[in-house]
A and B are shown apart, each in its own frame.
Chain A
Amino acid sequence: MRIDPHHGVVGRAAPRTDALAQASGGLVYVDDLSYPSMLHGKILRSPQAHARIVSIDTSAAAALPGVHAVLTGADLPIAYGLLPVAQDEHALAIDKVRQVGDAVAAVAADDPDIAQRAVELIDVVYEPLPVVATMNDAVEIVDEPIHGDGPRNNRHREVSLDFGDVDAGFDRADHIREDVFFYQGNNHAALEPHGAVALVEDDGRLHLWSATQVPHYLHRIVAKVLEIPEHRIRVTANPTGGGFGAKTDVFAHELVAAKLALATGRPVKLILTREEVFYAHRGRHPVLMWIRTGFTGAGEITAMWFRTYVDGGAYGSYGPASLLYTGQLQTTTYRIPAYRFQGVRFFTNKPACGPKRGHGTPQPRFGLEVHLDKAAEDLGLDPVTIRERNLVHPFSTTVNHLRITSCGLADCIERVVEASEFRAKHRNLPPNRGIGLAVGAYMSGAGLPIYFNDMPQSEVLLKVDRGGLVTVYSMAADCGQGSTTMLATVVGEALGLDAADLAVVTADTDLTPIDLGSYSSRVTFMAGNAALEAAMKLADLILTAVADELELDTDDVRLGRGVVLAGDREIPWPDAVRMAEARWGLLTAAGSYKPPKGIRGDYKGAGVGPSPAYSYSACVAEVDCDPETGFVAVEQVWLAHDIGRAINPLLVRGQIEGSVHMALGETLMEEQAFRGALHDGPSLLDYKIPTALEMPPVEAILVESIDPEGPFGAKEVGQGPLLPVMPAVANAVHDALGIRVDEIPLRPDKILAALRDRERDGQGRYGPTDLPAYEFRPPLPVDPPPELR
């Protein structure tokens, strides 16, 4: 059922409900927690990238005055992993370390200095093993697989799928183009490092606070690893100082803090250093891609073959999903009648990669959008036309069985093209200036939960007190995206109340009903729908009670702004609430949300990619390049985003601007690079994030396609707007200099290398050419959905 807002709460550019607390230092981050007699935890981490642990001697550390507990792998022997299919981690290493920074032992001590000295006193003897630093190493170094029982070529997962008749698609093509791209990995670099505090409450239950985006998954895994029933554990997610996906996994320090609190009976705090954050990682996967696409002379895609080689690092983490994401969403923007996707994820002895804003899709999106730009040039088409000729249709099904509903992509393109004067500028700007276009799409929440179950993904409980205060209870963890404000706004709109007048209790497993977490851009769509359902039920209770009390027809009673309009009377909200409580007893209402069935295919891998709705974005970037230094200055970015409906336009714009900043960092400078298996510089001085000086003006354009299933028609904005920025800038650099850097980041030295290549009569290209010597399985044929057969 579509519900339109009419109280003026949704759609208002109001500041976040916690804005003042955030700006004035009032928000309680995990590192702000402090308890009497609290101990400080510290983890000893491996200096070896790949080694067998021969022995660990903790006696000197245990004997140090002020040390209260020392743990090793033997104390936490149960393997875990966020995905049921990737249970390959231990809180503290057992037998073997697989990356520099693997947790090996841990202490709790009176203060951080003693804890630091204590870990230095732990003596670990390692027997070094061959180090797998690259994907080529993964294929070639076969004597000691990183995971003992794993395949010798360190292959973690492989996908090989054919949707429709790919060979026939290429046969009927007038033009076929092939390209190879590389997208370097990068870190989320949230300003707040990860951290946790644990203590045993008076009732003997374990209470764990963490800077996490996924309190529910953390709850489950703590129960599993510590062998404590879930009802004996309470997890509270503190507001995070940035997440971006960094805090969607479960980490050693969380389990260790909990175990140390149990071992000592005292509160324990464990906050990571920046170096440890780079080792915990779970950031963007480095992806090497090979793309082959067939086109008709008019630029219509006839078939696409997409191969991805994904460098996963030392553990599975979200990897099986990340791998599928490198292939699944290409079809959400363009009609691809026949599609072959082959992807492989390797283990290497580096920090494990995982989900970062856009999870697995920015890399192929970069490749695809640059590839299309090149194809347009081959075919004598302009970048707008080639995209328009292939645009996905609203309310259609893709060849890989994704259900597309509302789609404002055509509008998005038109709006950015117009605002930026793209058509007039493209190929016509002065020397060294250029303009580029690209598009993207993202899920409004993953259709399936992380672990298989048939229960709702989001639940919301409302409770009303006699003063009229409505409290919203939801496990949604605000990772800075504003989910708390969103909940208040949705409920406020439904009840005619100001968002700022509601109370919202979030992210606590004792107090709040399930929300699976702040990942996959799912919260507005899913928790928002659950909140809306609860609010509609509550409204019904109140309106019925008022109608009964005043002996009116229910049709004559409706909600106004802060009042119930009953016939010709205006009943103040608190009075109406009291009438309802007298009638029904305690006023509560609950809502839940589960994505609809039938939005996915039934092939292996079909669980990754489906979403109840996709957001769409189009981006134009204008650049000014210095051909002597290779520096690229991004002068302006125009970004149109199909948000469905802007619940709060201010927060939507904030997400767009933040996405552009993060995207420009990835495009130009951020990289999680390695010297061998050693991080190239685990600090925020060496890891380059653009400063305010590098940030160009952003014109954010909101396109509202009003999704039929989103709460008030809303879709996501947390991740989608990032996607088209990297390729838009790369395409702009091509327009400016006539070169192609087929590799992210577009570092100045690579720009110069491409210019040099052109001088030498080359193509003016810098980028990868070779692929790992890895043979994919023959693709498994999947029938396209009936309407595409």
Chain B
Amino acid sequence: MLRLPVLRHAAPTSLDEAIARLSEDGAMLAAGGTDLVPNLKRRQYPEAKTIVSLRRVTGLDGVSVDDDGTLRIGAMTTVARLADDGAVPEVLREAAGAVASPQLRNRGTVGGNLCVDTRCHWLNVPETWREAAEPCLKAGGEMCWVAPAKKVCWAVSSSDLAPAMVALDASVRLAGPDGERTTPVAELYRDDGMDHLAKAPNEILVEVIVPPLGERRAGYRKLRRRGSIDFPILGVAAVLEIDGDVCTDARLVLGAVASAPVRVTAAEDLLTGRALDANVIQEAAELAGKAVRPMSNTDLTSRYRKKMVPVFVRRLLRDLVDA
């Protein structure tokens, strides 16, 4: 078994204390730990000194619905709970139910899922392996082995919930040393595998706020090798507003094809104002395929994954139209 590095463990009981501990040098936040712990064992965070656990901070879990239908999900709500909760729209339940495996969903949290580190098959390997390969850019080396030409890290955004939340135009409430702020989930991410979260390390995600879905239709589809355990190698989330035959609003977001969820605005524009017949759907699917360039850094070939984008987009849109 790979062993954890020797670390200090802090278990604050209030958010303020957690933020204070998190502001210390080498502090890292742990929620369920299902992403953090394996990464630590593979020595992906050499700077880590203290693990600050959120588990004893109360009031961070649970799902509630405001009078206007706005959904509030506490950051410490487990992914399993999200997948099962009748108050949660189908699209989120689908995405949550597709995360990892039952055991990991019982332990993993919504906040941890949205903040899950980007992944790459040159990085998420034991340290001894990385040494044999020479460490890549994100592992402290000089070069990205996926695309050595540029000093850019292409590690993949691997959250199932992220694309669904972006499609739903959800926001997150973050608490930091200077107080709280709320930001759209879309703006939580940067397309940079090294540093994919647009937040300070000592800002804690406390809540996800999902506007009511109303009459809109939404869905999530995931590509992975096996029916369980595997991270997405493509995620497709869509929200459509359909009036009669005509699509009056569309949001289409791809996961696991870049370092951040990718909104395919070209396809959204194409769909909006049109009757969604097979041709329109096909055109939108192809636009989505053109919008992204998966790299050879996770399961199956990049070429294959790119080919799957229009297939998955088309299937999802068709299912939503037929629903």
What string of 1s and 0s marks CB contacts (under 8 Å) between B275-306 and chain A? 00000000000000000000000011101100
> Any chain A CB within 8 A of the CB of B211?
no
Question: Of A116, A274, A694, which contacts B226 at CB under 8 A?
Answer: A694
Cα A747 to Cα B1 in complex, Å, equals 29
Q: Which of A537-545, A555-563, A677-685 faces chain B?
A: A677-685
Asked whether A686 and B299 contact (CB < 8 A) given A113-B3, A678-B133, A691-B226, the answer is yes
Task: Write the nearest CB–CB distance from A745 to chain B, whole angstroms.
Answer: 11
Question: Of A48, A271, A275, A688, which contacts B129 at CB under 8 A?
Answer: A275
Task: Write the nearest CB–CB distance from A111 to chain B, whole angstroms.
Answer: 10
Specify which of B225, B228, B229, B230 lies most central, judged by the most chain A CB atoms within 10 Å of its CB.
B225
Tell whether, in the assembled complex, residue B300 and residue A690 are in contact, meaning their CB atoms are under 8 Å apart: no
Asked whether A628 and B311 contact (CB < 8 A) given A275-B128, A682-B125, A749-B300, the answer is yes
> Any chain B CB within 8 A of the CB of A448?
no
> Any chain A CB within 8 A of the CB of B57?
no
> Any chain B CB within 8 A of the CB of A77?
no
Tell whether, in the assembled complex, residue B132 and residue A112 are in contact, meaning their CB atoms are under 8 Å apart: no
> Any chain A CB within 8 A of the CB of B2?
yes
Question: Of A193, A675, A681, A748, which contacts B300 at CB under 8 A?
Answer: A748
Question: Of B1, B126, B225, which contacts A271 at CB under 8 A?
Answer: B1
What string of 1s and 0s marks CB contacts (under 8 Å) between B102-142 and chain A? 00000000000000000001001110110111000000000
Contacts of B228 in A (CB 8 A): 691-693
Tell whether, in the assembled complex, residue B1 and residue A752 are in contact, meaning their CB atoms are under 8 Å apart: no
> Any chain B CB within 8 A of the CB of A45?
yes
> Any chain A CB within 8 A of the CB of B6?
yes
Cα A693 to Cα B225 in complex, Å, equals 11
Contacts of B307 in A (CB 8 A): 752
> Any chain B CB within 8 A of the CB of A55?
no
Question: Of A116, A669, A748, which contacts B3 at CB under 8 A?
Answer: A116
> Any chain B CB within 8 A of the CB of A453?
no
Cα A682 to Cα B121 in complex, Å, equals 10
Question: Of A46, A273, A630, A752, which contacts B2 at CB under 8 A?
Answer: A273
Instruction: Tell me the nearest residue of chain B to A272, going by C-beta.
Output: B1
Tell whether, in the assembled complex, residue A683 and residue B125 are in contact, meaning their CB atoms are under 8 Å apart: yes
Majority SS of interface residues in chain A? loop
Tell whether, in the assembled complex, residue B226 and residue A690 are in contact, meaning their CB atoms are under 8 Å apart: yes
Question: Of B2, B6, B132, B229, which contacts A685 at CB under 8 A?
Answer: B229
Cα A675 to Cα B129 in complex, Å, equals 12
Tell whether, in the assembled complex, residue B132 and residue A48 are in contact, meaning their CB atoms are under 8 Å apart: yes
Tell whether, in the assembled complex, residue B125 and residue A681 are in contact, meaning their CB atoms are under 8 Å apart: yes
Tell whether, in the assembled complex, residue B303 and residue A47 are in contact, meaning their CB atoms are under 8 Å apart: no
Task: Write the nearest CB–CB distance from B318 to chain A, whole angstroms.
Answer: 12
Tell whether, in the assembled complex, residue A273 and residue B304 are in contact, meaning their CB atoms are under 8 Å apart: no
> Any chain A CB within 8 A of the CB of B244?
no
Size band of the interface chain A makes with B: 35 or more
Tell whether, in the assembled complex, residue A273 and residue B1 are in contact, meaning their CB atoms are under 8 Å apart: yes
> Any chain A CB within 8 A of the CB of B308?
yes
Cα A424 to Cα B269 in complex, Å, equals 50
Tell whether, in the assembled complex, residue A47 and residue B131 are in contact, meaning their CB atoms are under 8 Å apart: yes
Within 8 A of B (CB), among A186-215: 193
> Any chain B CB within 8 A of the CB of A629?
yes
Instruction: Tell me the nearest residue of chain B to A685, going by C-beta.
Output: B229
Tell whether, in the assembled complex, residue A681 and residue B121 are in contact, meaning their CB atoms are under 8 Å apart: yes
> Any chain A CB within 8 A of the CB of B179?
no
Tell whether, in the assembled complex, residue B227 and residue A47 are in contact, meaning their CB atoms are under 8 Å apart: no
Contacts of B299 in A (CB 8 A): 686, 688
Contacts of A706 in B (CB 8 A): none
Within 8 A of B (CB), among A624-679: 628-630, 669, 675, 678-679
Tell whether, in the assembled complex, residue A752 and residue B304 are in contact, meaning their CB atoms are under 8 Å apart: yes
Cα A637 to Cα B132 in complex, Å, equals 41
Specify which of B6, B226, B301, B308 lies most central, judged by the most chain A CB atoms within 10 Å of its CB.
B226
Instruction: Tell me the nearest residue of chain A to B308, going by C-beta.
Output: A629
Contacts of A629 in B (CB 8 A): 223, 308, 311
Question: Of B133, B225, B304, which contacts A688 at CB under 8 A?
Answer: B225
> Any chain B CB within 8 A of the CB of A268?
no
> Any chain B CB within 8 A of the CB of A534?
no
Tell whether, in the assembled complex, residue B304 and residue A748 are in contact, meaning their CB atoms are under 8 Å apart: yes
What string of 1s and 0s marks CB contacts (under 8 Å) between B1-27 and chain A? 111001000000000000000000000
Tell whether, in the assembled complex, residue A112 and residue B311 are in contact, meaning their CB atoms are under 8 Å apart: no
Tell whether, in the assembled complex, residue A691 and residue B227 are in contact, meaning their CB atoms are under 8 Å apart: yes
Task: Write the nearest CB–CB distance from B42 to chain A, whole angstroms.
Answer: 9
Specify which of B3, B128, B311 lies most central, judged by the most chain A CB atoms within 10 Å of its CB.
B128
9 A-B pairs whose Cβ atoms sit less than 8 Å apart in the complex? A275-B126, A630-B304, A675-B133, A682-B126, A682-B129, A686-B121, A691-B227, A694-B226, A749-B303
Contact residues of A with B, CB < 8 Å? 45-49, 100, 112-113, 116, 193, 271, 273-275, 628-630, 669, 675, 678-683, 685-686, 688, 690-694, 747-749, 752
Contact residues of B with A, CB < 8 Å? 1-3, 6, 101, 121, 124-126, 128-129, 131-133, 223, 225-230, 299-301, 303-304, 307-308, 311
- Extra inter-chain contacts (4) besides given A46-B132, A113-B6, A273-B126, CB under 8 Å: A112-B3, A271-B1, A669-B225, A681-B125
List of 4 A-B pairs having minimum Cβ-Cβ separation, nearest first: A693-B227, A47-B132, A749-B304, A47-B131
